Structure 1
């Protein structure tokens, strides 16, 4: 049943730094606000880079709980007070730390608002021993949510195999603002940017936008670039992002003699002109769930070469709207990139990619799914 009445919805995030889960929260929260719902956002740790986008998008309250990490009882009390004052009809927690803190704050506030958990990642189970130990604690909170939203079917099956049994769940794929991620909207800026970055008209520019973290494996792309240039292809790489792996990436670039073929342009809040300035976009991660960045690439009409990890196969049909390869297989990566050396092949793949995103991953469709789910959760149940 789809209700049309306005709802009071409180989102709770770990923080408001730039990241996939946080950008997803901004899209859903502002989308629901635009539909006339009364939306508030609480963030636990004091990092607020995305607060401005929430305010601009119509979110009425944006509150920091100033958590110092762990089970911070002062932060729990602040969140409980917000729950009492705002009186949400639905609570939406993102990431497992937010889920745990929201569960405790909900108990303290004596709220009966149903709790929806949006599960974004599988990496916190896979990354290292400490993360796996944390999961053994946090997994107990999964069943305390009335409903769990997974962002890919593979992710749902992954947690099912671990014995996680939510009370109810569904898959809602990420969606993209197609008007915002439109190549014509940034074409002039992208052309100027390409020249200013030193790329020639005939260069084959391969781009990647991602944090410089171990699992993103920008180094794999550098290895592939080295082999492409050995084949006399005029390939170059544009890396957008920053992070703890920057020194290792720079060291590998220098060791491969690619100083003149790799441009590192740091973190960029608006990646659209950088993507549009490229000929091919790559994702070389060894771990993903259902990345938004790849949908953005395809929405901008760029041919995508991606490692077949996480839910990528739910986005990309290999050879149809993108190209997949086995993560870590540098020869496979090189072969897929080399197959796009000719402009007609790139244009054909990029055009189909845009069409697929329009058909399957639009922002309005995602927002409507969340609106319907929240309305269903907020609808009182008559006793049998």
Structure 2
């Protein structure tokens, strides 16, 4: 089977991790996989894919709305798909989801699938909502299937007439569960925390998130003073990288509590950072059901997370985490301070996290489910009315789906 994945950005964030896991699994199982991404990417991440995947950059594919660039990206993607003749085009992220599906339709790709990691019309102004909904409804006309990261994403799509219920499939964003459950502290943790070697570990708060405005690092840094007032030796670790890095650095410089905050950038072993933390936090305003929440749970740590669509599917307030209003970063900071001061409550939440059933978030489960959806979509194209049915049948013949 020939598969094209299209991303707006190739950075170190949840939707990219999800997509790359699928791409690499599909390539290992003998499929021809092409990953296409837009102008914004991490060169080191892209270089790490050399030899494993074919990767193409479409420079005109950008995150902001830009009619001239969007039209150019549409043309480039259409030509690429016509030349490559994929069986499946699987789009991810908002802009790639629209432009990529339009190009796939123009190139007569039989299986057009969109991955719903986030919904662009949620928690935005009314004008943006109408514009994004119109674009999504246009693309929905020729989308064969949706892969939603949570049931809430699925429900919102259906409520807004984006695909029928039978077109939607909930597949959780998988990762290596054992890696997080069995993690140990990083080597030389004092270097990360800015403490002296041999000094007892101070209370540690971890935010593991790409540096993007919607994650609200700046707002949490501004509210973090309330935590320091109550726990003076606390450390806040900000792990991640992204386009808002300079804004986050400036917020730290402005903060009177800058000595309590450590921005460590991208870390290749996030499970070790979670192991080091006493409390983990995520203050996102807008996204799907983020996998980092599950990584906090898999690592067995008490966490404070925003009330995002679908969070209740896994995080139970007061049982395995604390859920605070998405619009209230101050409430998140207060909850973090409460947990740091209450060891018994913190231990009870950590125990609840360890007991959480995360089996549907396993990496193999995710990859197998995605391939089964591909197979189902392609099998429905094998009707006498479709001129490309022989080509698709030939590619399906002898394919083994699933990971065993």
Report the TM-score when normalising by structure 1.
0.83
Of 31, 45, 62, which aligns to 2:55? Answer: 62
Residue aligning to 1:374: 374
1:17 pairs, out of 11, 14, 18, with 11
Structure 1 counterpart of 2:94: 96
The 1:30–1:352 alpha-carbon spacing in structure 2 relative to 1, beyond 3 Å, is farther
Q: Give the Cα separation in 1 of the matches to 2:258 and 2:228.
A: 13
Moved more, 234-243 or 116-125: 234-243
Tell me the CA shift for residue 373 of structure 1.
0.4
Aligned to 1:310: 309
Aligned in 2, Cα 1:108/1:255: closer, same or farther, shift over 3 Å? closer
State the 1:281 CA deviation: 0.7
Q: What's the CA shift for 1:230?
A: 3.0
| 1:323 paired residue number | 322
1:135 to 132, 135, 143: 132
Aligned residues: 372
Which has the larger displacement, 87-96 or 41-50? Answer: 41-50
SS in 2 for 1:265: strand
CA pair 306-136 structure 1, distance change in 2 beyond 3 A: closer
* 1:257 paired to 2:256: yes
Deviation at 1:291, TM superposition (A): 0.8
- Give unmatched runs, 5+ long, in structure 1: 1-6
What's the CA shift string for 1:233-271, capped at 9, x where partnerless? 642211223556566656665666312222222344553
Compared with structure 1, are the counterparts of its residues 40 and 180 closer, same or farther at alpha carbon in structure 2 (3 Å cutoff)? farther
Structure 2 distance, partners of 1:124, 1:220, is 22
- Structure 2 match to 1:236: 235
Please give the secondary structure, in 2, of the residue aligned with 1:237: strand
Contact 1:89 1:113 in 2 (8 A): yes
Partners of 1:202 and 1:234 within 8 A in 2:
no
Structure-2 residue corresponding to 1:114: 111
| Contact residue 92 and residue 117 of structure 1 kept, 8 A | yes
1:259–1:74 CA distance, 2 compared to 1 (3 A): closer
Q: Answer with 331-340 or 303-312: which moved more.
A: 331-340
What SS is found at the alignment partner of 2:317? coil
The Cα of 1:344 is off from its aligned counterpart by 5.9
Q: CA deviation at 1:156?
A: 2.2
The Cα RMSD (Å) is 3.2
Q: Cα distance, 1:105 vs. partner?
A: 2.8
Distance 1:16 1:245 in 2: 15
CA distance in 1 between counterparts of 2:30 and 2:105 reads: 28
Partner of 1:38: 32
The question of whether the paired residues in 1 share the 8 Å contact of 2:93 and 2:115 is answered with yes
Distance 1:152 1:14 in 2: 21
2:194 corresponding residue in structure 1? 198
Give the deviation of 1:41 after TM superposition: 1.5
Quick one: distance in 1 between partners of 2:160 and 2:167? 16
CA distance, structure 2, for counterparts of residue 95 and residue 193 of structure 1: 35
- Give, in whole Å, the separation in 2 of the partners of 1:295 and 1:97: 26
Asked whether the 8 Å contact 2:177–2:298 carries over to 1, the reply is: yes
The superposition leaves residues 314-340 of structure 1 with CA deviations (integer Å, 9 ceiling, x where unpaired) of: 221122222212230634642454235
Q: Return closer, same or farther for 1:25/1:251 CA change in 2, 3 Å cut-off.
A: closer
User: How far apart are residue 212 of structure 1 and its match?
Assistant: 3.8
Please say if residues 340 and 346 of structure 2, whose CA atoms lie closer than 8 Å, have aligned partners that are also in contact.
yes
Which structure 2 segments of 5+ residues have no match?
A: 386-404
Q: Secondary structure at the match of 2:177?
A: coil
> Against the structure 1 CA distance between its residues 220 and 357, is the aligned structure 2 distance closer, same or farther, given a 3 Å change threshold?
farther
Q: 1:55-104 deviations in whole A, cap 9, x for unaligned? A: 46x33x22223325446455444433433343322211112322333333
Are 2:401 and 1:365 equivalent residues in the alignment?
no
With 372-381 and 354-363 compared, the bigger mean Cα shift is at 354-363
Partner SS, residue 181 of structure 1: helix
Distance 1:244 1:382, change over 3 A: closer
